[in-house]
Structure 1
Amino acid sequence: MKSDLSLGNLRLKRRWRKSDTEAAVAVSFVFRSDMVRLCFVVSGRERKKKVPLG
């Protein structure tokens, strides 16, 4: 299952990169047992944030 998820993430990132050239906003979420990683791209700049759960 991990390989399938990684392939899905790569496909989404490729779509987002195309939209980034049009000044679009891309957001991706990675859920884990203890935290949620947020990765969002605004006007070509990538920012990452970790949010702990509980």
Structure 2
Amino acid sequence: MANKEIAQGLFVTVKTVEKHLASAYRKLGTSRAELLVALAPAGSPSDEAAPDAP
């Protein structure tokens, strides 16, 4: 999923998404999004279908 898509889904700016991802990468000692996906727990919110917007 692209940062723009994430930002739109969360109603935040792309810059906000980029800052949060950079923080997560730094804390995990990586710069690879694939590693974050591998580390995400099963059944995390990203695994569930998004509810329909009103």
Normalized against structure 1, the TM-score is what? 0.35
Normalized per residue, the structure richer in helix is: 2
Normalized against structure 2, the TM-score is what? 0.35
Normalized per residue, the structure richer in strand is: 1
